Structure 1
Amino acid sequence: MADYVISVGTDNAATLEPGASVTCWTADTGGTQYTDLTDTDEITPIADGILTADANGAVPEFYGPDDVTEMYLDANAGAGPRRRTLTTEMRAYTDDTFLPLVGGELAGTVTSVLATSTTVAAASIVDGLDVFDRFRRDASGRMTWGSGAATRDTSLYRDAADSLKTDDSLTVALTFRHLGTTAGFFGEAAVARPTVSGSWSDGSAGASLAAALDTLGLITDNTTA
């Protein structure tokens, strides 16, 4: 951080300024003053966020807001000039507490606090190739996919309690195992597994089977006696 407050006097002589009041800002001009500063115990607040230079003009050590790594110090009641200062407490940025801009590994839960259920929570794009996101997940958990050359066209989302839905095709390359107690096909309502009864010799078993398959929606039973 900037260690001392000085003023420039006659013949550009630099003079230390004991007791100078120093404020911290978000930008080198304009911006907003940081007022939530604390003493080195990280608990005791510094009144109005105003630092006071010691008898030698040195700016005291302090703690700024969480996750703020740079700020601009002003010893002229906010009118400038200001000098950029960087935090000396960089341990969190070198001990895997924060991710670098490129790469890195997360351990634990990542929570996105978003404005609406349709606000994008995550997206991916192939650099230099795609015009549109190939994948997107919004705050509700709805996921959509596309080619990258056009708007995403495939989705998977929650449509009711205990129910996931896609408006598109689903292909299963390996085993598909249904563990539920009801099923329905081709738009028919899900029903419990039907029981087939009767005799094959008199044709009643065949009629029962056709009725069962029709109930599941697997066939349309147009047979006659």
Structure 2
Amino acid sequence: MARYRFGGIADYVVGLGTGNAAVLRPGVTVTCWNADFGGTQHTDLTDTDGTTPLVSLVTDGNGAIPQFFGPDGVTEMYLDANGGAGPRRRTLTTSFRSYVDGTFLPLSGGTRTGTVTASLSAATSVVDASLVVTDAFDRYRRDTSGRQDWGPGNATRDTNLYRDAVDSLRTDDSFTIGQTLKHLGAQAGFYGAAPIARPTVTGSRGGNAALGSLIAALAQLGLVVDNTTA
């Protein structure tokens, strides 16, 4: 983490003078908090060098809040210039160090090392989408259910992968495997046949019993259509 700079950019403490006129308040001690009401006071403040502890934060002769660094990782605080009685005013970091430190991912790209959580409204379904600048359609899209869709970019997405049921993934399109396919499950089915456990072929090899058993097993798996005759 890192410390972020505050103050110094049009941050002035203003009070009410005669006739409720706004007046600057120089030499006022300002306290920093993590909430607009209640909460905890931030006391781990440093001078502009980022290391020297700041005993107290006091407005300058013009009523401006001087530059200082907040606690590690804090990018916003609530300031109180009324001896702790409030009201407090929210202030944000005035530096862009968070981009350098990796708190935010720059538009030009970067490396994510932590978990990214997307919290969306019920009306929002798309979590991720990517496309080339000249594309008319997303080449990739993932929605809140985890469904993923792919397309060529110049037409609508035509390939998908999604959760079909408990412990089941499905695609409505073709699936090509470039290397070995290893099936570790207890059941299998082909060409729309209901999955079954690995069948056992029985009968004598010297007659037709074993052949009949094999044909029946292959038909159950969906690998053949049994149109044989006795």
TM tier relative to shorter chain: 0.5 to 0.7
TM-score between the two structures when normalised by the length of structure 1: 0.67
- Structure 1 pair 209/107, CA: closer, same or farther in 2 (3 Å)? same
Is residue 140 of structure 2 the alignment partner of residue 149 of structure 1?
A: no
1:48-72: CA deviation from partner (whole Å, max 9, x where unpaired): xxxxx96844233698xx767xxxx
Per-residue Cα deviation, 1:106-147 (whole angstroms, up to 9, x for no partner): 11100111223861111110122x110011001111000011
Runs ≥4 residues deviating over 4 A: 3-6
After TM superposition, list the pairs within 5 Å mapping 1:1-225 onto structure 2.
1-2=9-10, 17-19=23-25, 40-43=31-34, 45=36, 56-60=61-65, 87-116=93-122, 119-128=125-134, 130-225=135-230
Q: What SS is found at the alignment partner of 1:208?
A: helix
Structure 1 stretches lacking a partner, 5+ long: 7-15, 21-38, 48-52, 69-84
Structure 1 residue 97: deviation in Å?
A: 1.4
Structure 2 CA distance for partners of 1:42 and 1:198, relative to 1, 3 Å: same
What do you get for the CA RMSD once the two structures are aligned? 3.1
Higher RCO (C-alpha 8 Å, min separation 6): 2
Aligned to 2:19: none
| 8 A Cα contact 2:149 2:158, kept in partner | yes
Distance 1:143 1:222 in 2: 40
Distance in 2 of aligned mates of 1:44 and 1:217: 66
Question: Quick one: percent identity of the two aligned structures?
Answer: 52
2:62 & 2:125 partners in 1: Cα distance? 50
Change (3 A) 1:189 1:118: farther
Q: Give the drift of 1:46.
A: 7.6
Give, in angstroms, the shift of residue 44 of structure 1: 6.3
Q: Distance in 1 between matches of 2:123 and 2:226?
A: 44
Distance 2:100 2:124 in 1: 35
Deviation at 1:171, TM superposition (A): 0.7
CA distance in structure 2 between the partners assigned to 1:213 and 1:132 by the alignment: 44
Contact 2:13–2:25 (Cα < 8 Å) also in 1:
no
Q: Distance in 1 between matches of 2:207 and 2:63?
A: 106
CA contact (8 A) 1:144 1:153 kept: yes
Q: Report the TM-score when normalising by structure 2.
A: 0.66
For residues 55 and 91 of structure 1, what CA distance do their matches in structure 2 show?
25
